[in-house]
Structure 1
Amino acid sequence: MFSNLGLFKGLACPDHGSCSRSHCLFSHSPNIPQPRALILPVPSLSLEKGKGLEKPKSSVVPAKRPAIASPTKGSPGSAEPPRKTQKVGPIQRPLAVSSAIQRAESGAPILRVNAAQSQVPIPVRQTMLQTLYNHFLVLYDHILPAYPTLASEHALKQEDEVYKKSIKLTYRNAVIQCVATLKRRPLPTSINHPSVGTEGEIAARAEAQNALTSLQLSGDLLEALIHPVSMLQDWGYFVDIPPGEGGSKPSMEGKIAKCDRCVQYFIVKRMEEADNCIYHWGKPQVTRVGGEKTRIYTCCSRPVADSEGCSHGPHVFYESAPDDLHSRHAFSRLLPSNVDNTMHDVVALDCEMVYTTGGMRVARVSLVDGSGKEIFDQLVRLDDDVHVIDYNTRFSGITPENHATAVLTLASIRTTLDSLINSNTILIGHALDNDLKTLRIIHHRCIDTALLFPHRAGPPYRRSLKDLVREKLGRMIQTGDASEGHSSIEDASATLDLVRWYILNKQKSAVQSGFGMT
């Protein structure tokens, strides 16, 4: 036993004289007063006149609050089962992505997201968005004047891409890595440059382009896409050589013709002597102004009802009748096929034209083969009796300076083409009938992207090559200004890629659905 420390010697034993403990901890001395009995107050009820029982005036605060009984399963008045017995699915937190673009005073876009749905704090994301925006400004320095909102749009898209692929702990580092990638990009000089876009957009374009370029177009692969001769005829193709002597009237100089621009009759004169014409170079299109449909010109947005033009230039004329075209320069067919392996089985063709005293004549011819490689690109010198009225540089890209370097006439160009293509070659183009007419070629094995991708309004309407390339291939062509015009090599390559896209998408889907039906 341990020794007693005597801590309770100052307290009287509660058992007094009846204590039977041999070694009691308490004191048994008579001089120490006995402990008092603990008396608790008992509440009493009082009656007041005119009232029943009243709550006690002095109450004791309970030690604990009474627990509120939760309704049990099947108990009356319970609106829903107990929380523990409810079946709930996994909690799915929606992604907080940006919506409309709103600009801060600094010009950077502002995130419009729900903070409760964002795993990363909004101030952090806004700071990272500002960083991305600043680097897109530097990257797009040369093209921002033409596309002022491009940096804001791509900064928002890029931040959204990084956020969706990251978690809270990796978000900052992912943005930093993206900024480092932006710094390594070459500065774009046009909207169609490979450096334009977010990381995801560039990767998607590269993947799609690799799929296109890896597809080698051959005659066997394209045989099913060749348009029937009857279809070509319905779309304005010449399928037979017009009657009469070809090339008997090469020029209309000094004669009366109807202006293709202002629809007025004029005397045909070469460029140095031509009379002035006021016209609209754009096409009329239907738009809504004040809730009403109105036709306006794409060049100046003026109503078609306004007779005054927006541009000045010489009077020009355009001929479409087979006999007239044949009389300016004779039509002929490509040479028949032979065993010569140097002939190409597939080529994409595009031409650029200028207005002359002999109507619209070819000024540049470009061909690419089935792999997309350029095989021919030459300027065409006009015949001796034919003179330029207007180079139409806005669309043709032909200028007096570069056209002056042309050496080969159309007859020489045709001779060169006979060494590259023949009557068995599949020709690909957009509105190919115009190119064949200006080359004075009769050919039946054609694939026209204007017919592969028809206009929703039906014939004779055709979708533009620029719109098709932007929609199907995700890139821009014909972006040059009035001094640059189009590039026939670029257009020929674009038509080739459209046919590739058609084979990889539409034709493949049609074959798969056919197998599913069987």
Structure 2
Amino acid sequence: MFPSTVNLFSNILCPNKAFCTRNPCIFSHKDPSDLPLPTTLAVPFHEPKTLQPEQPKTVPAKRAVNSSPVRASAGPVSMPNEPPRKLQKLDSQRRIAQDSTPTTISGVPILKVLPATSSVAIPVRQAMLKTIYDHFVILYQSISAVHPTLASEHALKQEQEVYSTSNKFTYRNAVIQSVAAIKRRTPPTSISHDSVGTEGDLTARAEARRSISALRVTATHLEPHIVTVDVLKKWGYIVEIPSETGGLEPSVVGKPIKCERCGGLFVVRILGEQDPGREECLHHWGRPYSRVTNGERIRAYNCCSKDVSDGGCVRGPHVFYESEPETLHRRHPFSQLESSSSTSDILDVAALDCEMIYTTGGMRIARVSVVDGSGHPVFDELVRMDEGVEVLDFNTRFSGITPEMHAERAMLPLSSIQKSLNAVIGKDTILIGHALENDLKTLRLVHHRCVDTVLLYPHPRGAPYRRALRDLAREHLNSTIQEGGGSTGHSSLEDAIATLDLVRLFLINNRKTASSSPSAQATSSSSKPSLGRMRQKVTPASNFMRPRQS
């Protein structure tokens, strides 16, 4: 109880009034009119502010910088008018999505997997992933400028391969073994090098190569894919020997003719007898292609990336080529392979490729290579020019033939080469080639049993477009050919083997659909949509002798 002297309730009327029995009573028994009024409750009241004209807002030039590096890295800073937020350090492994899709940025990759789904601790896997990445960076040092994300992508894929084939007890040792295997690889020089890829990629490629090389292509395999005569005509093959006498005019020395490179007229002369006052041919050795720059489509040459209106990037001799069957027959006569009664030495299947050079008789064959159905070389010879035919340009960038090589190894003329070929291939032999009509024309051969990889691997845009052999080899065989350039150029033997491997791969992948013939593919390929790959326009039938370009 409170002391009575306080009189806390003296101003409050007693609730029992006259019936109160308390003595003394802490409440008042006075007349209610004599009691003071209760104290008024003070309620705050704000006067409405007078509206002022709106002032233009000033935006600071720069956002305020947080001077505390700890708070800046820990999380967002609370504003004065907001309740304080709890600052916490986020686990870099837990704040990433669940999938393990490789990143598309360069640098140390981040493992994208939930900790609950991994049997190996995520920090351990991340540390092992960084180790794998560091060794891929060293391995891809020479190609990292062109492919900056390759090391990151392959490190993620390699770690996933190791994790999927091991458990939490063997994981570390498996990573160490994979890193040791990466260190033993030869540094790659291109994206299609054998050392590029994960251990699984290398194993799969080796297995594919073994399956391809183990297949010996026979006539039985290729019979359904022999191109019909009508399709041969469509693709520029010469299917019959011209009726006039051949070989009457092997050279056109002293006659004016149009230069194949610059388009100007020049008088054909032997290389050492060129007019001293005549300038060399200024031209582009590459082919024009389309590119988009700042939203504008530009046509440029792939040799120097200069616009097509530019005069040229290299100088060399004027050259020419001819395409009409009668004209070619007049330079050197066409013939057919003979049917031999002794078929034991005649191949049933052969892959063929040739290299050409420019001469005073147009573009002539300088090297011919033949491999059998197993990929073993059976014929590889350089060709000496006919009497009265002189070389204008060895076209070493593409032919791979140098003057010294030709002078030392070219012993037999084309007529003797044709007779030598009859010892290994005959009229019934199925010839395999890429754009084989060009090789047969320079060989001056008429042959009807042909399988052309241009038709087995048609261009998405259909005829008359075709895929380049080097592109097909890189895409389907993961091999690099025709990369010599400069003084080494191409190799007809290498190209013949690559063409045979493409046919092998086609047969392996199409065993269940082998009934579809290449002629049907050739006629229907024009309706296929473009796949957006690198395209190369086919040389028209009238211009079949254009030099091969990279």
Q: Does TM, normalized by the shorter one, top 0.5? A: yes
Q: Quick one: structure 1 residues 204 and 397, their matched pair in 2 at CA, closer, same or farther if it must change by over 3 Å?
A: same
Number of positions where the alignment pairs a residue of Structure 1 with one of Structure 2: 415
Tell me what 1:454 maps to.
458
Tell me what 1:229 maps to.
229
Q: What CA distance in whole angstroms lies between the structure 1 residues aligned with 2:470 and 2:377?
A: 20
Matches within 5 A, 1:162-201: 162-186=162-186, 193-201=193-201
Q: What CA distance in whole angstroms lies between the structure 2 residues aligned with 1:315 and 1:391?
A: 12
Please state how far the C-alpha of 1:171 moved relative to its aligned partner: 3.1
- Alignment of 1:263 with 2:287, yes or no, is no
Please state how far the C-alpha of 1:122 moved relative to its aligned partner: 5.7
Tell me what 2:69 maps to.
none
2:291–2:300 contact (8 Å) kept in structure 1: yes
Please state how far the C-alpha of 1:407 moved relative to its aligned partner: 1.4
**Partner SS for 1:175:** helix
Q: 2:319 aligns with which of 310, 316, 320?
A: 316
Tell me what 2:110 maps to.
111
**Partner SS for 1:253:** coil
**Partner SS for 1:404:** helix
Q: Quick one: structure 1 residues 110 and 196, their matched pair in 2 at CA, closer, same or farther if it must change by over 3 Å?
A: closer
- Alignment of 1:245 with 2:248, yes or no, is no
RMSD between aligned residues: 2.7
Write the letter of the residue equivalent to 1:432.
L
| TM-score calculated relative to the size of structure 1 | 0.74
Q: What CA distance in whole angstroms lies between the structure 2 residues aligned with 1:142 and 1:238?
A: 46
Tell me what 2:379 maps to.
376
User: Which deviates more, 347-356 or 493-502?
Assistant: 493-502
Q: What CA distance in whole angstroms lies between the structure 1 residues aligned with 2:131 and 2:499?
A: 39
Q: Quick one: structure 1 residues 479 and 324, their matched pair in 2 at CA, closer, same or farther if it must change by over 3 Å?
A: same
**Partner SS for 2:371:** strand
Q: What CA distance in whole angstroms lies between the structure 2 residues aligned with 1:140 and 1:270?
A: 49
Cα deviation digits, residues 5-41 of structure 1 (max 9, x gap): xxxxxxxxxxxxxxxxxxxxxxxxxxxxxxxxxxxxx
Q: What CA distance in whole angstroms lies between the structure 2 residues aligned with 1:176 and 1:330?
A: 65
Matches within 5 A, 1:63-462: 94-103=98-107, 109-111=108-110, 113=112, 119=118, 124-136=124-136, 139=139, 151=151, 153-186=153-186, 193-274=193-274, 275-304=279-308, 306-405=309-408, 406-462=410-466
Instruction: Name the structure, 1 or 2, with higher relative contact order (CA <8 Å, separation 6+).
Output: 2
**Partner SS for 2:510:** helix
Please state how far the C-alpha of 1:392 moved relative to its aligned partner: 1.1
Q: What CA distance in whole angstroms lies between the structure 1 residues aligned with 2:271 and 2:146?
A: 33
5+ long unaligned stretches in structure 1: 1-48, 50-92, 104-108, 513-518
**Partner SS for 1:376:** strand
Q: What CA distance in whole angstroms lies between the structure 1 residues aligned with 2:474 and 2:446?
A: 31
Please state how far the C-alpha of 1:271 moved relative to its aligned partner: 3.4
Please state how far the C-alpha of 1:167 moved relative to its aligned partner: 4.5
**Partner SS for 1:508:** coil
Q: Quick one: structure 1 residues 484 and 159, their matched pair in 2 at CA, closer, same or farther if it must change by over 3 Å?
A: farther
Please state how far the C-alpha of 1:183 moved relative to its aligned partner: 3.3
Q: Quick one: structure 1 residues 507 and 320, their matched pair in 2 at CA, closer, same or farther if it must change by over 3 Å?
A: farther
Q: Quick one: structure 1 residues 121 and 285, their matched pair in 2 at CA, closer, same or farther if it must change by over 3 Å?
A: farther
Cα deviation digits, residues 356-403 of structure 1 (max 9, x gap): 111111111111000111111111111231111111111111111211
1:96–1:115 contact (8 Å) kept in structure 2: no
2:102–2:153 contact (8 Å) kept in structure 1: no
Please state how far the C-alpha of 1:243 moved relative to its aligned partner: 2.5
Q: Quick one: structure 1 residues 310 and 373, their matched pair in 2 at CA, closer, same or farther if it must change by over 3 Å?
A: same
Q: What CA distance in whole angstroms lies between the structure 2 residues aligned with 1:461 and 1:471?
A: 17
Matches within 5 A, 1:486-497: 486-497=490-501
| TM-score calculated relative to the size of structure 2 | 0.70
Q: Quick one: structure 1 residues 150 and 478, their matched pair in 2 at CA, closer, same or farther if it must change by over 3 Å?
A: farther
Write the letter of the residue equivalent to 2:183.
K
Write the letter of the residue equivalent to 2:366.
A
Cα deviation digits, residues 203-237 of structure 1 (max 9, x gap): 11111112111211111221111000111011100
**Partner SS for 1:243:** coil
2:158–2:198 contact (8 Å) kept in structure 1: yes
Write the letter of the residue equivalent to 1:345.
D
Q: 2:468 aligns with which of 464, 472, 491?
A: 464
Write the letter of the residue equivalent to 1:385.
G
1:432–1:448 contact (8 Å) kept in structure 2: yes
Q: What CA distance in whole angstroms lies between the structure 2 residues aligned with 1:401 and 1:128?
A: 54
**Partner SS for 1:467:** helix
Write the letter of the residue equivalent to 2:464.
P
Q: Quick one: structure 1 residues 117 and 352, their matched pair in 2 at CA, closer, same or farther if it must change by over 3 Å?
A: farther
Write the letter of the residue equivalent to 2:110.
L
Q: What CA distance in whole angstroms lies between the structure 2 residues aligned with 1:487 and 1:279?
A: 24
5+ long unaligned stretches in structure 2: 1-37, 39-96, 517-550
**Partner SS for 1:159:** helix
1:346–1:370 contact (8 Å) kept in structure 2: yes
Please state how far the C-alpha of 1:166 moved relative to its aligned partner: 4.1
Q: Quick one: structure 1 residues 367 and 167, their matched pair in 2 at CA, closer, same or farther if it must change by over 3 Å?
A: same
Q: What CA distance in whole angstroms lies between the structure 1 residues aligned with 2:396 and 2:156?
A: 38
Identity %: 55
Write the letter of the residue equivalent to 2:322.
E
2:269–2:360 contact (8 Å) kept in structure 1: yes
Cα deviation digits, residues 250-280 of structure 1 (max 9, x gap): 1122211111111111112333455411111
Q: Quick one: structure 1 residues 228 and 135, their matched pair in 2 at CA, closer, same or farther if it must change by over 3 Å?
A: same
Write the letter of the residue equivalent to 1:379.
L
